[in-house]
Chains A and B, each alone.
Chain A
Amino acid sequence: MATITSEPVAGPRPLALRDAVARWLDREAVFSWLMMALPLLFLFALVGYPFVYGIWLSLENRPVAQAGTFVGLGNFIEDARDPVFWQVARNTFIYTGAATVLKMIGGLALALVINQSFRMKNFVRAALLLPFIVPTVLSTVAWMWMLDPAFSVVNWMLVHMGIASRGPSWLGNPALAMASIIMINTWRGLPFYGITLLAGLQTIPQDLHEAAAIDGAGSWTRFWHITLPLLKPVILIVTVFSVIFTFADFQLVYVLTHGGPANATQLFATYAFDIAMSGGQLGRGASVALAMLPILGLLIIGLTTYMRSHE
C-alpha cells in the first residue's frame, strides 16, 4: 500500500493571495477608484489646494510677506464698502453678458454656414480656429495696434470710407473701451462656439430634416423645430463654459487697458490682481477673486440640474 506523505506545499498560498488581489482589483468599484486616484490626486494638488488656500486667504488680513490674521468675512465686508468693487461687478456682468450673447448668435451662424458643403470646407474649418489658438497676449497686442489712435487700421478704414472725419478713441472713451474688449473677446471666443456647435449639428440625423421637408417645412421651420431643440444641450454646455471663461477673463483686459480708463474696463480678475500684487493685500485680493464664486457656482448647479432633468 502506498503511503501518501503530506509534504508542505510552497506554491498555493502566494497563488491564493495573488488571486485574491486580482479578484479584488477586478471589482469594478476598486478598479475604477484606482484609475481615478492619480487624476484625483493631480486635481487636488493643482486645483483643490490652491482653491482651498484661496478661500483661507480671503478670510485673513494677509499683507504680502507677513503672517496673516483671521478676520472672518471682514474682507468681503470691505469689498462691499468699496465703490470700485461695485463698478467692477457691473463691468464684469456687462462684459460677460454681451460677449456671451454675441458669441452664441455668431457661433451658431458660423456653425450653420460651415456645416454646409463647399470647396475647401476642411481648410476653412481649421482656419476658423486661429483666433482661439493664437495666444491671447499676442492677439491682444495686435488688437492694441489696430485700435491705436495713430496706427489704427479700423480708424483708417472709417476715415477712408468717408464714415468718419476722425476715427473714434476706441480705448480712451469709457463706453468704446468696454465695447472694444467685448468685441475682441467675441472675436477670440467665436471659434470655440462655432466648432462645438458644428459637432452638435453633425449629430442631428439628416432623416429628420428630410422628413420635415417632405411634410412641407421650410428651412426656418426646420431650424426652429428640429435643429435648435436638438442642439439645445450643446448650446447650454458651451454657454456655461464660455460664461466661466469670460467671467474670469484676465489677459485681454490686463494687456489692452489694464482696467482703464478710470476703471471702465476693470473686471474681477484684473482688480483682484491689482489689489493682491501691486497693493500687497493678498487677503483682499483673494476676496475680490472669490466674489465670482457664488455666481459661477450657481451656473454649474443650474447646468447639472438641467442635464439630469434631461437624462
Chain B
Amino acid sequence: MVLSGGASSTSRRQVLKAAAAGAAASIIGVPRSHAATKSLTLIHESSFIKTFDAYFQNTLAPAYEKLTGVKVSYELASVGSLQTRVTTIAETGSGADLTLNFFNWPFLYDEKYLDVSDIAESVGSQQGGWYEPAKEACVVNGKWKAIPFGNVGQLMNWRMDWFNEVGFDKFPDTWDELLEAGTKLKAKGHPFGFELGHGFGDNHGWLYPLLWSYGGHEVEPDGKTIVLDSDETARAVDFARKFFQQTMLEDVLGWTDVNNNKAWLSEQISCTNNAESILWVAKRDFPDIAKVTGQAQNPQGPKGRFHTLNSWSHSIFTHTPDHEAAKAFLRWLCDKQQLGAWYAAADTYYQPFLHGYDEAPMWNVEPRNLPFRDALATAHLPGWPAPVSRAQSEVIAKYVVIDMFAKACAGAPTKEVIANAVAQLKQIYSQT
C-alpha cells in the first residue's frame, strides 16, 4: 500500500477506514481471507476405542502439520455431548472448523455445512465406490454435505458356550429361532438383555430392524403418509412382547446404553445387541468372556434381515475462514493411506463405507467382526424408507417407536401402543 498524493494511490482516510474495518473484523470474527491458515480444529466424540483417537492425535495430526504447516487440533467431546456442541457451533458460527456427524446430522445442519460433493465423488471413485446407505445419511438435496466415514454397526452378541448348551452351535437365523433359544437359556438362568429404555443406540439397534423385518414402517417413502398402524407392525409388537417376557430381565425396560455392556461383562446375560465394543473391551479386560463371545447379524423376519445405520461422517462448517484449507485437509484425511490406517487403528469398529476396504487386511485381525461388514448392505437410518427429515429426527428424539415396543413389553395391548405411536407421528408430521 502506498501513501502518497497520487490519483491512484490510497488516501490517508481510506487507510484509516481499512484499519478500522480490519480491527472490527478481528473483533467480530470476520474471516481474514488472505491470511494463510495455520490451524484447523476437528471436533469429535470420544471413541470407545482409545487407539482410534490416539492415532489421530499422535500420527495423523503431526503428519499433516509436517506436510503443510497446518496444525490440526483434535477436540474431543464426551460421549453423548457432541450434538450439543455441534448445535452451539452451528448456531453461533464460531468454534471448530470441521466436525464429526452421527445419523442424519448432515441433513439437520445442512445450511451450516459446505458442499463437499467434489471430495466425496473423487474419494468414492478412487476407493471402490460408496455403499448405498452412506448416501442415505450424507447426501442432502443431491449434494454431499458430509464425507461418509464408517458405520458403527449394531449386531447380535451371543454367548457361544451357553447357546451350545441348549443345542445352538451357530447363531439363530430367524427371530423365532432366537426366541426358542432365549426361552431355553432364560430357563437355565441365562436371560437375554436387549435395551428397551431411552439410550441412543442399543435400543434402535434391534427394535427398528425387528419392525422392518416384519414389514412394518412408520412412514411411506413419500415422507408424508403414516403407515405404522398395520398388521405387520402388530405382528412385530406381539413378537417383541413375547420375546421380552420369555427371554429377558424386567430391568431392560429402563436400560440405557451402558447397561447391556455391564450385564454382558458380568455374565448376567447370554445375548444382546451392541456394537463391536463389547468384544473389544472383553478382549482387553475379560479374556475368558471374550473367548466365548460371538457376533452375528440380526435375525431375519418374514420380510427379510435389517440393521440400523449408525453413520459417522465428517463435515466442514460454512463459518470456517478458509474453505479451501479445510477441504484440503479433509481430502488428505480421506486419502487411502491415511483413511486405511485410521480404520485399522479401531479394529473395524467403524466399518468403512467404501467398497475398497471390503477385503482390507484389518478384517482378518478378528474374523468375528466380519458380520459387521456384511450388515452394511442392509442398514438403514431409523425412519426408513421415508427420506431423511426433521420430523424423523423428532420421532427419534421422542423415542416414539422405542416406547411403542417398550409399553407393549410392559404389558400394554398392541392396539393401544400402536394407536399412541400413530397419534404422536401424526402430530409430529403435521407440523412439517
Contact = CB atoms under 8 A, between A and B. Distances in A.
Interface of A: 61, 63-66, 78, 81-84, 148-151, 169-174, 177, 257-263, 274-275, 277-281, 284
A148 B423 CA distance: 34
Contacts, number: 127
B277 interface: no
Nearest to B426: A81
A281 B428 CA distance: 11
Interface string B138-162: 0000000000000000000000000
B423 to A, nearest CB: 6
Given A150-B263, A280-B108, 7 more contacts: A63-B390, A65-B112, A257-B197, A261-B197, A262-B406, A262-B410, A278-B83
B399 interface: yes
B188 interface: no
Interface stretch (B46-54, B125-133, B216-224, B254-262): B254-262
26 contacts: A64-B91, A64-B108, A65-B90, A65-B108, A65-B112, A78-B427, A150-B266, A169-B249, A171-B197, A171-B251, A172-B249, A172-B253, A173-B253, A177-B254, A257-B198, A258-B198, A260-B254, A261-B197, A261-B254, A261-B406, A262-B407, A275-B397, A279-B394, A280-B393, A281-B393, A281-B394
Contacts of A261: 196-198, 253-254, 406, 410
B82 to A, nearest CB: 11
A290 B393 CA distance: 22
Nearest to A152: B251
Interface in B234-280: 249-256, 259, 262-263, 266, 268
A78 B428 CA distance: 9
For the complex of A and B, the 8 pairs showing the least CB-CB separation, nearest first, are: A279-B397, A171-B254, A278-B397, A260-B197, A258-B198, A260-B198, A261-B253, A172-B251
A172 to B, nearest CB: 4
Nearest to A274: B397
What interface size band does chain B fall in?
35 or more
Contacts of B197: 171-172, 257-258, 260-261
Contact of A149 (B199, B256, B268, B431): B268
Contacts of B399: 259-260, 262-263
B91 A149 contact: no
> Chain A interface mostly helix, strand, loop or mixed?
loop
A262 B253 contact: yes
Contacts of B111: 65-66
A82 B254 contact: no
Contacts of B420: 83
Interface string B292-327: 000000000000000000000000000000000000
A271 to B, nearest CB: 8
Given A174-B410, A275-B398, A278-B393, A81 B427 contact: yes
A174 B407 CA distance: 10
B59 interface: no
Nearest to B268: A150
> Chain B interface mostly helix, strand, loop or mixed?
helix
A241 B197 CA distance: 32
Contact of B251 (A64, A149, A174, A258): A149
Nearest to A266: B198
A169 B252 CA distance: 9
B202 interface: no
B244 to A, nearest CB: 11
Interface string B107-131: 0111110000000000000000000
B408 to A, nearest CB: 10
Nearest to A281: B394
Contacts of A281: 390, 393-394
A260 B410 contact: no
A277 B254 contact: no
A143 B156 CA distance: 29
B262 A150 contact: yes
Contacts of A277: 83-84, 87, 397
A206 B398 CA distance: 56
Contacts of A63: 108, 390
B410 A258 contact: no
B198 A279 contact: no
B174 interface: no
A59 to B, nearest CB: 15
A278 B84 CA distance: 8
B253 A169 contact: yes
A259 to B, nearest CB: 5
Interface in B392-432: 393-394, 396-399, 403, 406-407, 410, 420, 423-424, 427, 431
A149 B249 contact: yes
Given A258-B198, A259-B198, A274-B397, A172 B268 contact: no
Nearest to B256: A258
B152 to A, nearest CB: 17
Contacts of B424: 82-84
A251 to B, nearest CB: 13
Contacts of A257: 197-198, 254, 256
